[in-house]
C-alpha cells in the first residue's frame, strides 16, 4: 500500500524569524521543505493550508465566470469587451499566484522572498486590470474624454511599477525594521487602489445629476468597497490573532480572512463592472473611442514585462544586499540555537 508521510510541523521558536507571523505560534512547515513536501502540505492542516486554498479555489471560480462570459460576450471581435477580458485575466492571475507563493514559500529563505515578489507583481497587475476597466466602463459620463480619462491607464502602469518596487523592497527590511517594512507594503497596495477608485469615489459620493451614471451597479460597487476596506483593515491589524496569540493558528487568522475578503471584493467588483458595461454600452460607444488592442492587452503585456524586470532586479539583489546577509545570518543563528537547545 502506498503511504505518504506528512511533513512534521514546528512552533514559532523553531523556525527562523523571517518565516514567523505575528500572533501565529504553531503549525509552521519546515523552512527547508522540498517542493514535494510543500505540495503534500497543502492537504495537511498547517497555518498556511487555508491561505493556499482560499486563493486556489477562487482562481477556478473566476476562470468559470470568464468561461460563462465568453459565451455571452464576443471577446475576439468586439473591441468594447477587451478591457473586461484584461480584467478577467488579472483576476485569475493574482489568486493563483498567491496560492503558489504560499505553497512553495517554505523551500528556503530566498525562495520565500522570490515567491512573494511574484505575488506582489500579480497584485500590481490586478490593479492595472481594474484601471483599464474603470476607464472603459466606470467613469461618470461627465468625466469621459477629460484629461484624467485620457491618461488614466498610463498612470496606472506607472503605479504598478511603484507598487511592485515598494513591496519587493519592503522584504529587505523585515528583520531590522519590521514596522517600516509593513508600512511600505501597506502603502504599496493602498496607493494604486486609491488611484484606481478615484472615478468610482467621485461617481458614488461626489457626483449628482443626470450625467453621473447612477444605475443598478451602484449597490454592488458599495459591496466591493466594503470588502476592500475589510481587506486593508485585516492586512494592517493582524486581528484576531494579535489579541489571542496561538488561538487562531490554523483557522481564523487575519491572513485567511484577508484572502476571503479580497476574493469577495473582486467578485462584487466584477459583477459591478459587468453591469456598468451592459447598462452604459450604447452611450459609451456613441461618445468615446472604442478601446484598442494596444490600449488594453498591449498595455497589460508591457506592464507584465516591466514588472518582471523589477522582480528580476530584486531577485538578483537578494544574495548581495546587506538585508539579505542579515537575513541569512539570522537564519543560521536560529538554527544553531535550535541544535544547541
Q: What is the CATH number of the domain that holds 309?
A: 1.20.1070
pLDDT of residue 322: 54
Look at residue 10 and tell me if it is in a domain.
no
Q: Kindly tell me if the per-residue pLDDT of 337 is higher than 80.
A: no
Per-residue confidence (pLDDT) for residue 210, from 0 to 100: 84
Q: Domain for residue 330, yes or no?
A: no
Decide: helix, strand or coil at residue 78.
coil
In the predicted structure, residue 298 carries a pLDDT above the cut 50: yes
Indicate the SS3 state at residue 25: coil
Q: Whole-angstrom Cα distance, residue 39 to residue 34?
A: 9
Predicted pLDDT of residue 176:
85
Residue 30 in contact with residue 106, Cβ under 8 Å? yes
Average pLDDT over all residues of the chain? 92
- The per-residue pLDDT for range 12-33, each reduced to its tens digit, is 999 998 899 999 999 999 999 9
The verdict on residue 69 lying in a domain is: yes
Contact of 28 with 12, CB cutoff 8 Å: yes
**pLDDT tens digits along 143-153:** 999 999 999 99
User: Residue 310 falls within a domain, yes or no?
Assistant: yes
How many domains are contained in the chain? 1
Calpha distance 130→293 (Å, rounded): 16
Q: Does 335 have pLDDT greater than 50?
A: no
Write the pLDDT tens digit of every residue in 140-189.
999 999 999 999 999 999 999 999 999 999 999 988 898 999 999 999 99
Q: What is the pLDDT of residue 144?
A: 96
pTM, 2 dp: 0.92
| Distance from C-alpha of 262 to C-alpha of 133, rounded to nearest angstrom | 18
The alpha helices in 105-172, defined as continuous H runs, are 109-133, 147-170
What confidence tier does 333 reach under pLDDT thresholds 50, 70, 90? very low
pLDDT value of residue 86: 98
> What are the two backbone dihedrals, phi and then psi, of residue 36, each rounded to the nearest 5 degrees?
-65, -45
Ramachandran category for residue 246: left, alpha or beta (phi over 0 → left; psi -120 to 50 → alpha) = left
Residue-range definition of the domain harbouring residue 256: 48-321
pLDDT tens digit sequence for 188-229: 999 999 999 999 999 999 999 888 989 999 999 999 999 999
Instruction: Let me know if residue 269 belongs to a domain.
Output: yes
What pLDDT, on the 0 to 100 scale, is given for residue 285? 96
Q: What would the mean pLDDT of 316-341 be, rounded to a whole number?
A: 54
pLDDT class of 3 with cuts at 50, 70, 90: low
Q: Evaluate if residue 341 carries a pLDDT over 70.
A: no
% of the chain exceeding 90 in pLDDT: 88
Task: Give percent of the chain with pLDDT exceeding 70.
Answer: 93
pLDDT at 118: 98
Report the candidate in 130, 84, 145 with the shortest Cα–Cα distance to residue 284: 145
Q: What is the pLDDT of residues 29-78, one digit of tens each?
A: 999 999 999 999 999 999 999 999 999 999 999 999 999 999 999 999 99
Is 3 a domain residue?
no
Largest CA distance in the chain: 74
Residue pair 12/24 in contact by the 8 Å Cβ criterion: yes
Asked if the structure places residue 125 within a domain, the reply is: yes
Nearest to 200 by CA among 224, 227, 180, 179: 224
First to last CA, the chain: 38
Q: How confident is the model at residue 231 (pLDDT cuts 50, 70, 90)?
A: very high
Residue 188 lies inside a defined structural domain of this protein: yes
Amino acid at each position: 500500500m502506498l503511504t505518504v508521510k506528512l511533513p512534521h510541523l514546528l512552533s514559532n521558536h523553531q523556525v527562523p524569524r523571517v518565516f514567523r507571523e505575528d500572533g501565529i505560534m504553531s503549525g509552521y512547515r519546515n523552512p527547508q521543505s522540498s517542493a514535494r513536501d510543500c505540495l503534500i502540505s497543502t492537504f495537511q492542516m498547517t497555518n498556511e493550508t487555508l491561505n493556499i486554498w482560499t486563493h486556489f479555489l477562487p482562481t477556478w471560480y473566476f476562470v468559470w465566470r470568464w468561461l460563462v462570459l465568453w459565451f455571452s460576450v464576443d471577446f475576439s471581435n468586439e473591441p468594447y469587451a477587451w478591457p473586461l477580458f484584461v480584467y478577467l485575466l488579472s483576476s485569475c492571475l493574482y489568486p493563483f499566484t498567491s496560492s503558489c507563493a504560499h505553497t512553495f514559500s517554505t523551500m528556503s529563505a530566498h525562495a520565500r522572498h522570490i515567491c512573494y515578489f511574484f505575488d506582489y507583481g500579480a497584485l500590481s497587475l490586478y490593479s492595472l486590470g481594474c484601471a483599464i476597466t474603470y476607464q472603459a466602463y466606470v467613469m461618470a459620463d461627465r468625466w469621459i474624454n477629460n484629461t484624467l480619462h485620457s491618461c488614466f491607464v498610463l498612470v496606472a502602469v506607472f503605479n504598478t511599477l511603484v507598487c511592485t518596487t515598494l513591496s519587493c523592497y519592503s522584504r529587505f527590511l523585515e528583520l531590522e525594521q519590521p514596522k517600516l517594512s509593513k508600512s511600505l507594503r501597506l502603502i504599496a497596495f493602498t496607493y494604486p487602489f486609491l488611484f484606481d477608485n478615484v472615478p468610482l469615489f467621485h461617481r458614488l459620493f461626489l457626483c449628482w445629476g443626470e450625467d453621473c451614471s447612477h444605475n443598478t451597479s451602484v449597490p454592488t460597487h458599495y459591496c466591493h468597497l466594503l470588502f476592500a476596506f475589510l481587506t486593508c483593515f485585516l492586512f494592517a491589524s493582524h486581528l484576531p490573532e494579535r489579541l489571542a496569540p496561538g488561538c487562531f493558528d490554523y483557522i481564523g487568522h487575519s491572513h485567511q480572512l484577508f484572502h476571503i475578503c479580497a476574493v469577495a471584493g473582486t467578485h462584487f467588483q466584477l459583477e459591478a463592472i459587468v453591469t456598468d458595461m451592459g447598462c452604459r454600452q450604447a452611450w459609451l460607444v456613441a461618445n468615446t473611442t472604442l478601446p484598442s488592442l494596444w490600449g488594453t492587452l498591449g498595455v497589460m503585456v508591457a506592464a507584465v514585462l516591466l514588472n518582471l524586470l523589477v522582480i528580476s532586479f530584486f531577485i538578483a539583489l537578494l544574495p548581495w544586499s546587506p538585508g539579505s546577509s542579515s537575513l541569512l545570518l539570522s537564519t543560521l543563528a536560529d538554527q544553531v540555537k535550535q541544535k544547541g537547545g
